[in-house]
Amino acid sequence: MAAENHVFQTEVKKMLDLLANSLYSNKEVFLRELISNASDAVEKLRFNALQNAELLGDDPNLKVRISFDKDAKTLTISDNGIGMTKDEVINHLGTIAHSGTADFFSSLGTDQAKNSELIGQFGVGFYSSFIVADKVVVNSRSANAGAAEGVSWVSTGDGSFTTETINKENRGTDIILFMKDDETEFLNTYKLEEIITKYSNHIGVPVELYKEVVDEDAPEEKDEEGKVKPKPRISKWVQVNSAIALWTKNPKDVSDDDYKKFYLSLANTYGEEEPLTWSHNKVEGSQEYTSLLYIPSKAPWDLFNHQQKHGLKLYVQRVFIMDDAEQFMPTYLRFVKGLIDSNDLPLNVSREILQNNRITQSMKKACTKKVLGMLEKLAKDDPEKYQSFWTQFGNVLKEGPAEDYSNTETIAKLLRFASTKNDSDVQNVSLEDYISRMPEKQKNIYYLISDSYKAAANSAHIEILKNKGVEVLLLWDKVDEWLMSNMSEFQGKKFISALSDDLELGDLVDEEDKKKAEEKSKEYESVIKRFKDALGDKVEDVKISSRLVDTPCCAVSNAAINGHLISTLKALGQKTPDIKYVLELNMEHPLVTSIIDEADEDRFKEWSQFLLDQALLGEQGSLEDPSTFIKLMNKLLVAGK
């Protein structure tokens, strides 16, 4: 049959163009990707053969094979796995079925080094072939098809490919790379063996390399002097990886170096990135399973893409079942890499069955506790390394209290905050640190959420707290409103927002302060009424402030929604409710005292409006009508006030 021409999907064209022009700094990743794909094909056949043993035919020894031809400048990666039909070849090799593809391309820039790193994080799979090859041929035959139903796929990475029906005696897939002139270093036995053992040593499929070795079976021969001659060398298939699933070993028999190498292949991580920590556990009893869980050291580019699949690799009785089994790990721990191998789940388990399975839920609970325990230990034993973790994954962990109420206290211990104790935006204060520094009379934990670190650190709402030596936790990330709305207390201490109408200062306010407040309330009773009359229904109330020291006024709300949340919702294009604020006045501030002395009622109303707008600007970060505010301010400045 004549070859048919096809055009790549637009995203594939972009990918190929990027690969062809990228100064990729870790080119060997292509072999890791192709071996991983071949291993998946083998595992799929092994799984299907459990229901239909005839699929194995007369070739039951599943494997991946790698060979090269220096003269032809070709490198071949073969497997005797499930194989592909013609339609599957066109679908799998002509399109990218990945929900985050658009996000990936939007994150690319002109920086070649950065682009290369993103490629490594993204895991371009088969298309990484074009990093080192200027032509790729794929010959495949499905395990369900006959010899005459093979298919050949050919592309030079120029935006198109051809397919053709061929005869292929054996099932599986052969990928033949025609290497670029400057990439012949990969046509070397030692180089290939180094890459295979580095990335694929512990996959559960034998990887064989066609190499020259001593023929140990050759008979012993002697030369004329009676000395034993060296045995001849022959070329044969030699298994170069251990092909023993690392997680099936006793943890005592696995070195740290082995765990790190396995992480590289498991996580498809970029370059030499190492995990921060890991946990290898064998559980026996009412349930039997093994888990191997890693905490990465670097966040992937699509960490906050909630459409991106996440989860653990699932094995059942050492048979690979699926990638990204999200049922074993909560969403707020989606950065965890690893696998779980169960003896209790059926081999034909589906995602739907996993969703409502009692065994699954029990394993998820156990894995969650294990990960949180790993993080607790890391924070205790190596604060510097934990700080690195927090910088990369802290905002994801903050989602925890909303999703996992039962572990809120444990998650709270792992949180880190910036605070008024430090003079920087570094988030390195734990809640336990905070409580250990609380003055004896302080009963609550105070925090403030704003649009930025500087806005929080300089907020008028915390002036009285700082004046009394009370530390305030400072938050400004979008997830912080969600976090704090799901945490009411920690170790018996209530969380109090500095934006609250009532700061609940308790014993922090002594009798003398209370007496002064009462006297001031009586003294300015008529003044407060005058401000209320001037502002009318624009405010919920006007009060004498007990929190302000250096600022003339501030706006506070009794509502559950505050200024920071309103600005966040507006930025997301969401509707926001109309809120009337309480205007708090610092009666000792020179601006307020001068306004009080204003005899002209119209001018007094203008100054009242100015104070309200100023307070709202400080609370919300913006005004609905800034032009009117500027005109009013200019008018008052010209008037000489």
Nearest-angstrom CA–CA distance, 415 and 397? 8
Locus of tokens 């009963």: 443
Domain 246-381: top CATH class: alpha beta
CATH code given to domain 4-239: 3.30.565.10
Residue range(s) of every CATH 1.20.120.790 domain in the chain: 511-638
Structure token pair of residue 602 = 């119209």
HSE-up of residue 254 (Cα within 13 Å, Cβ side) = 23
- What pLDDT does 104 receive? 44
CA dihedral defined by 620, 623, 629, 633, rounded to 10 degrees? 30
Angle of helix 358-381 versus helix 383-397 axis, rounded to 10: 140
Contact 338, 312 (CB under 8 A): yes
- What pLDDT does 231 receive? 85
CATH of 416-508, one of 1.10.287.180, 3.30.70.120, 2.30.130.10, 3.40.50.11260: 3.40.50.11260
Opening angle at CA 583, ends 582 and 587, nearest 5: 140
pTM of the model: 0.72
What DSSP state is assigned to residue 144? T
Residue range(s) of every CATH 3.30.230.80 domain in the chain: 246-381
- What pLDDT does 530 receive? 95
Element (H, E) at 71: none
Residue range(s) of every CATH 3.30.565.10 domain in the chain: 4-239
Q: What is the SS3 assignment for 18-49?
A: HHHHCCCCCCCHHHHHHHHHHHHHHHHHHHHH
Q: Which residues of the chain have pLDDT under 70?
A: 1, 18-25, 95-124, 268-272, 347-352, 559-577, 641
Nearest-angstrom CA–CA distance, 194 and 450? 52
- What pLDDT does 265 receive? 77
- What pLDDT does 577 receive? 67
- What pLDDT does 373 receive? 97
Fold topology of 511-638: Four Helix Bundle (Hemerythrin (Met), subunit A) (1.20.120)
- What pLDDT does 216 receive? 82
Nearest-angstrom CA–CA distance, 609 and 81? 76
